[in-house]
Chain A
């Protein structure tokens, strides 16, 4: 697991049934592109988050394939429909096989 990786997610606490809510996510990650060289001229191996997903109560909201052209500390903003009270699950998949996960619940009232 890459060191110091920390996700942040912003989801409203409540919503009306069927409401569209704005979701923002950010994860601290180098996103080493595989294009850079170290001081000895050796290529620094690629090490990126290659996939990001957001699901709500088991149904998919967004599934993103990331390439090395995504900036350090990858950021996404998108909208989700909230049909009922439940839980958002966010996953970030690292090239090294690690999967970072965050969960946020939202109440429909």
Chain B
């Protein structure tokens, strides 16, 4: 049975025609130099030598869209989130700005270290969980859907304040057991196709899966504006799509499993830079 599945994957995956310029350098707005290749973190020893941003695997045209903030269609949604940031919502008469003032100051560096252990909540949380905590407990507002547009756009606004900073999520201390859980999920085969994250994104990055150029599945570019659905997408939304493509039943966006997986996958990108909101296919 296992052999059959390996044969199936081998049939799906083929060597890559040269699609993208893999030597291209990502410079945003002519002045922000983004590291798209970095030595892999020590915990990846025996798995990966180098970590590579998903930007490298995209076509020239898609790469170009991320090199200018006006050409990047994700930025219009960051503008929209900035209006939401300043708009009072909920029973407490507060907006995000009431407590956090200017996101350029208050949110700088946040995205580079999330998901992280939140002591007050006694759990590892991604940014969306923190946003909803604020909405429910400080603003008295309704929580947003974890994979909805409002959440993706707010996360993009927060992410932008860390763009160009090096991903550095903690995997030890109180976060360690969650990280271990995420790692276990990463290497577990799911769905009728019995594919793990690693089958595609560790063993076959750079190869083609039908017409797609497989990347390492790095998440430093999220939220990502996808040409496919022409909106900003959260990490959990993308995970959901991946699991569904294995013909499996996805975990719940915002739930413990995807949060653990997000921490683990983020840690595989330690050393790369935050790119979000990025542009992907």
Is the A/B pair a real complex? yes
Taking beta carbons and an 8 Å cutoff, which residues of A are in contact with B? 4, 6, 8, 10, 24, 26-28, 71-73, 75
CA distance A27 to B70 in the complex (A): 11
Structural contact, B76 and A8, CB atoms closer than 8 A? yes
B260 at the interface (CB under 8 A from A): no
- The answer to whether A8 touches B70 (Cβ under 8 A) is yes
| Contact of A26 with B77 at beta-carbon distance under 8 Å, contacts A71-B230, A72-B230, A73-B230 already known | no
Query: What residues of B have a CB within 8 angstroms of the CB of A6 in the complex?
Result: 76, 79-80
Is the beta-carbon distance between B71 and A73 smaller than 8 angstroms?
A: no
A27 to B230, alpha carbons, bound, how many Å?
Answer: 12
What is the interface size of chain B, counting residues whose CB is below 8 A from a CB of the partner? 9
Which A residues touch B71, using CB under 8 A? 24, 75
Chain B interface mostly: helix
B73 within 8 A of A: yes
Nearest Cβ in chain B — how far from A86, in angstroms? 22
Contact present for B80 and A75 (CB under 8 Å): no
Given A8-B70, A10-B70: A26 and B230 interface contact (C-beta under 8 Å)? no
B70 A28 Cβ-Cβ under 8 A: no
Q: Determine if A75 and B79 form an interchain contact, defined as CB atoms under 8 angstroms apart.
A: no
**Can you list 8 pairs linking A and B with CB atoms under 8 Å apart?**
A6-B76, A6-B80, A8-B70, A24-B70, A27-B76, A71-B230, A72-B230, A75-B71
Asked whether, in the complex, the Cβ of A28 is within 8 Å of the Cβ of B75, the reply is: no
Interface string of B62-99 (1 = CB under 8 A from A): 00000000110101110110000000000000000000
Chain A contacts of B230 at CB under 8 A?
71-73
A66 to chain B, nearest CB (A): 15
A65 to chain B, nearest CB (A): 21
Q: How far is the CB of B70 from chain A (nearest CB, A)?
A: 5
